[in-house]
Chain A
Amino acid sequence: NAGVTQTPKFQVLKTGQSMTLQCAQDMNHEYMSWYRQDPGMGLRLIHYSVGAGITDQGEVPNGYNVSRSTTEDFPLRLLSAAPSQTSVYFCASSRQGHEQFFGPGTRLTVL
């Protein structure tokens, strides 16, 4: 199993550009989440999904959209990138009531 995969590993955007961060898991997990981690800080929950077709907002959802059309994929869309969205983004998946498995992260810089 590949576990949780994220692409790209690195990305540089200009203010106002849009992009999609990809996340996929091959463990048939119902739950998937997106977090952001700013330097020296803990992870903050952006959006999460408890199954295909179901998404909900986390702690810091503004400026981000998600969809969950399949169990495997949970893309995160930045609608109009801002410098404040410069961060490392982690995707995670889990079975209900069990530990989360995290991807390797995407390092995003917005100029």
Chain B
Amino acid sequence: EAGVVQSPRYKIIEKKQPVAFWCNPISGHNTLYWYLQNLGQGPELLIRYENEEAVDDSQLPKDRFSAERLKGVDSTLKIQPAELGDSAVYLCASSFGTSGVSGELFFGEGSRLTVL
């Protein structure tokens, strides 16, 4: 069974440029998460989808970040314009159900962004 697929794995851009990350979750997983991991920190939730609905986007900086999950499968996370402080690893994860009790998360390999 294919795992969570993310692309690109690495991206280097100049500040003020746009960037987009793509995630394909495990088939049948209705919940999809985007996490941000800064160097030396633990992953922090940016947005959680249940099917196509964003049920928790309270941590998403909406002035420059946007996300979508059309048809409740693939998801795209966009940053426009990127700032130096956005350099981080962007992790996508999926689960069957929510992580509230026993639903382990299945992660992709992450997209490492460097903003120059």
Are A and B part of the same complex? no
B residues near A (Cβ < 8 Å) are none
A residues near B (Cβ < 8 Å) are none
